[in-house]
Amino acid sequence: MASEPYQPRKLFTVEQANAALPLVRSITADLVQLSREVIERRERLALLSAGRSATAADPYSEELTQIEEELEKDSIQLQEYVEELRALGVEPKSGPEGLIDFPSMMDDRLVFLCWKLGEGELMFWHELEAGYRGRQSLVAGTLSDEGAAGPNDEAH
């Protein structure tokens, strides 16, 4: 069964995406920090839990249970960060790396403007299926203020 084609909540021009960056950057910074903490704690929990049966006699069982409960709360918070970003119309792609895609139009086709936490502004784009490794540099005039292709664009 074929999946439904991607339908973005919003389309961005480069200018609109850059204007949204202060809020996106703030949420993404929180998402990255908490994602990395959760990954680290899950790895530690797995090591501590390996070969251990949860019994009342285990002096660490209460601590392990507390860590599991905190991880559950943090996982809910991570999902809330993702939903906040999606509500803005962007697509979070990697919590730990801070990768965010902004849906846009180029040459009458849907593409992603690609931004990573730490970059000052949007400087890259990629095809929907290409992902981070398929990033290409945004060239002046690539995406006009209306989101249509500029006069110097050629098919890649």
Cβ-count burial of 44 within 10 angstroms (0-12 exposed, 13-18 middle, 19+ buried)?
exposed
> Which residue has better confidence, 56 or 152?
56
Per-residue pLDDT at 97 exceeds 50: yes
In this prediction, residue 150 carries a pLDDT of 37
pLDDT tier at 70, thresholds 50, 70, 90: very high
pLDDT (tens digit, 9 = 90+) per residue, 29-56? 999 999 999 999 899 888 877 766 656 5
Q: Give the pTM.
A: 0.79
